[in-house]
Amino acid sequence: MNYDIKQRFRWILRYLQDRNRTYAIFGAGKITIQMLDLIHADNLLKPSAIVDERSNEITQVMGIPVYAIEYLRKNSCDEIILGTDCFQIEMVKRLKQISVSTSTIDLFADYCNPAPLIQEHDISLILAQRYMSYRNIVLNNQQLPTLNEVGFRHFSEGDQDGIIHFIFSVIGCRSKVCVEFNGSYDLGNTLLLTTFQGWRGVHVYNHLATKEKAEFTHRECNKLIGHDSRFVIMEEGVEVDAALLNDILPLGAQGIDLLSLNIQNSIFEILTQALSLNPRVIALTLSTSPATSLASATEFAARNNYRLAGASQIAPWVFFIRNDIQSSVFIKPNPKDINH
């Protein structure tokens, strides 16, 4: 499982644990072993059972008993996680054959992502409509929706595209410059800004294939517009120092509007260095480690004059706004939306 799938698995298990829901894993192969490794390493919610067609050959996996698939008919659970990256269709059919109607979770399929997906032919119109709606709320001093209500995805893995669009619709833009460090395999949180919303940006990727796909997408979307953005490949582990930041920052930018960080290691060290860009909004990922928890991120932000605006419930993202930025309608986090 790559980093994105592991993150998805972590947050699914946290979601289930927070709601006292149980789950079983269908399959006793390599993907299930990787799941159990992650469960043990991060002390996550354990499955109530593992089922497999080969239960007569495989009796246990890492100390957890393996039962025949028929076990699920007599021993119910709330969810079934498919322990495979290639036999999902066959597994779902098999469950139907034995009359098991429990909902399944496929970690490797896009449809397990609950964030609303907006297609390319709709995106420009929807961005304009939502912008006008949010501005009317601000001008009329009405109550803003929470971040959990405004999210959608176009290029982002979760609902970050919609959340970022909402935040800047409310507080406004200044430089319309963004910088993103993306250690993931998705296209990131800032590509929508630079392809459809007139921003300039620097997109820093750890993975060459992702960088090339993002660059191609940006080029195709901007054939008639010509937005100035850069796409940079940086090997994971390379230190982000002031010289690198000065090199990637677009010429003439006096501070940036958005800094987005999706990296696994040393996130606060890199964030400290990147604060020299004076971002108005910071988006960053959390992990299950206490060192990069919501509490530690909020404490770090407060020390550096940022306040928590809210978090995504779908993906492990939190958003901070610089303290000197005020709007007529104050964006504040809803505790019910923050379960990180």
Tens-place pLDDT, residues 312-332: 877 788 999 999 887 555 666
Contact 220, 188 (CB under 8 A): no
Q: Specify which residues 104 forms β-bridges with.
A: 80
- Domain-ending residue, one of 112, 146, 173: 112
**Per-position DSSP letters for 61-119, written without gaps between them:** ETTEEEE-TTHHHHS--SEEEE--SS-HHHHHHHHHHTT----EE-TTSGGG--SPB--
Cα–Cα distance for residue pair 136/222, rounded to 1 Å: 29
Task: Please give the share of the chain, as a percent, with pLDDT higher than 70.
Answer: 73
Same domain? 80 vs 188: no
Lowest mean pLDDT among 75-89, 126-140, 244-258, 271-285: 244-258
Q: Identify the pLDDT of residue 38.
A: 92
> Residue 160 in 3-state DSSP?
helix
Are 203 and 227 in contact, with CB atoms under 8 Å apart? no
Same domain assignment for residues 182 and 59: no
Query: What is the C-alpha separation between 159 and 19, in angstroms, rounded?
Result: 21
What are the residues whose beta carbons fall under 8 Å from the beta carbon of 334, sequence distance 6 or more? 146, 147, 148, 310
Query: How many Å apart are CA 10 and CA 41, to the nearest integer?
Result: 11
Domain that holds residue 72: 3-112
Report pTM.
0.62
For every residue of 176-235, DSSP letters joined together read -EEEEEE-SSS--SSHHHHHHS--EEEEEES-HHHHHHHHHHHHHHTTTT---EEEEE--
Question: Do 137 and 196 belong together in one domain?
Answer: yes
Same domain as 43, residue 180:
no
User: Among the three residues 94, 112, 130, which one is the final residue of a domain in this structure?
Assistant: 112
Q: Is 65 within 8 Å of 91 (Cβ atoms)? A: no
Q: What is the CATH number of the domain that holds 39?
A: 3.40.50.20
CB count within 10 Å of CB 223 equals 7
Number of other residues whose CB lies within 10 A of the CB of residue 313: 22
Q: Are strands 79-82 and 60-61 parallel, antiparallel or unpaired?
A: unpaired
CATH number of residue 291's parent domain: 3.40.50.150
Query: Do 98 and 158 lie in a common domain?
Result: no
pLDDT at 175: 86
Q: Is the pLDDT of residue 303 over 90?
A: yes
Last residue of a domain, one of 112, 137, 157: 112
Torsion sign (Cα): 104, 108, 114, 117: negative
For the chain, give the percent of residues with pLDDT over 90. Answer: 21
pLDDT at 267: 73
In this structure, the answer to whether residues 248 and 322 fall within a common structural domain is yes
Q: Average pLDDT in the 256-283 region?
A: 83
Give the tens place of pLDDT for each residue, 77-89. Answer: 889 999 987 788 8
Q: Closest Cα to residue 91, out of 34, 42, 137, 32?
A: 32
Cα separation, 155 vs 173, whole angstroms: 20
Pair 78, 227 in one domain? no
Q: Residue 327 has which token pair?
A: 């709007």
Check whether residue 210 and residue 296 sit in a common domain. Answer: yes
pLDDT at 57: 85
For residues 128 and 64, state if they share a domain: no
**Angstrom distance (rounded) from CA 290 to CA 296:** 7
* One domain, residues 194 and 165: yes
**Same domain, residue pair 108 and 136:** no
Q: How many domains does the chain have?
A: 2
CB 294 within 8 Å of CB 318: yes
For residue 111, the model assigns a pLDDT of 40
Q: Tell me which residue of 281, 275, 280, 273 sits closest to 317, measured CA to CA.
A: 281
Three-class SS state of 173: coil
**Are 70 and 51 in the same domain?**
yes
Sign of CA dihedral 229, 222, 319, 177: positive
What is the predicted pLDDT for the residue at 253?
A: 52
Does 225 have pLDDT greater than 50?
no
More confident residue, 198 or 34: 34
The per-residue pLDDT of the chain, averaged, comes to: 79
Residue 119 has pLDDT above 60, yes or no: no
The pair of structure tokens assigned to 241 is 């120092």
Residues paired with 181 in a beta bridge: 204, 261
Q: 140-176: string of b/e by CB count within 10 Å (b at 16+)?
A: eeeebebbbebbbbbbbbbbbbbbbbbbbbbbebebb
